[in-house]
Amino acid sequence: MFQFPIVDAHLHLWDVNKLKYPWLEGIPLLNKTFLLEDYNRACGPLNVEKMVFMQCECEPNRYLEEVQWVTELARVDQRIQGIVSFAPLEKGEAVRAELEVLKSNPLVKGIRRIIQNEEDLAFCLQPNFIAGVNMLPEYGFTFDICIDERHTRNAIHFVEQCPNVKFMLDHIGKPNIKEHRLDPWREEIKQLSAFPNVYCKTSSLASEADHLSWTIEDLKPFVNHIFDCFGYERTVFAGDWPVSSLAADLQVCVETLVKLTHGASEAQLTQLFYSNAIKFYDL
């Protein structure tokens, strides 16, 4: 078993009795409560030293309740050292008051406004959205880019217009691993990685493959390309639990990434599994 201390930079928790998560209705295996004690069981012997909570797409008008709930959890388990919150950045200048509220909570480190669910592939290029994202450095906030392969080309143009924002690409940009489709994702990811303010999470890899029959060989060309593009300097481990459990247990996710990085130095593995997340999210 992997012995390094780990920072899990992408942890989901939800209580379906407290908040409503509309997207869960179509996923019976996830449509139930997942709490810290469930996560601890999933970790088993993994040495998770710090965690970053990632917003879970509750009803948008209740996202501040989600932030407050996780803030209370962090008082119980101080390993929760960061929160990435939702915020309606497409409001442009009008979102500033909401960012002020979030800034008053020192646990809030960044914002994720999911792009992948937008049928308008140009959503991330709307002037108000770009204006909202460009406000984030004023508050010390990062931005998590959650897209799938359909959105990558426009994400390049989006990032180009936000040079002062620290970006984290979630789940290696969700390529179509199930169908072994490397292109055009491969070239577009290379272009996205050329921006030095973009990092990448090597998370939920098996989730984009066949959930029941994936192999390490299925994942290898995609993961190898991510390290070719971002190096160990800008890659971050993230569990994406419990969503990742649809395809692999959390311990299997860690073991798989260790196998995929065979030959990496101890210093490189420390960057990947620990120090890069601390640096990026200012934990």
pLDDT tens, residue by residue, 72-121: 999 999 999 999 999 999 999 999 999 999 999 999 999 999 999 999 99
pLDDT of res. 4: 83
pLDDT digits (tens, 9 = 90+) for 140-165: 999 999 999 999 999 999 999 999 99
Of the candidates 259, 78, 56, which has an alpha carbon nearest to the alpha carbon of residue 251?
259
pLDDT digits (tens, 9 = 90+) for 168-224: 999 999 999 999 999 999 999 999 999 999 999 999 899 999 999 999 999 999 999
Mean pLDDT in residue range 30-54: 97
pLDDT mean across residues, the chain: 97
CB 197, CB 166: distance < 8 Å: yes
Mean pLDDT in residue range 20-29: 96
pLDDT digits (tens, 9 = 90+) for 217-246: 999 999 999 999 999 999 999 999 999 999
pLDDT above 80: residue 263: yes
How far apart are alpha carbons 252 and 68 in whole angstroms?
A: 31
pLDDT of res. 215: 97
pLDDT above 60: residue 1: no
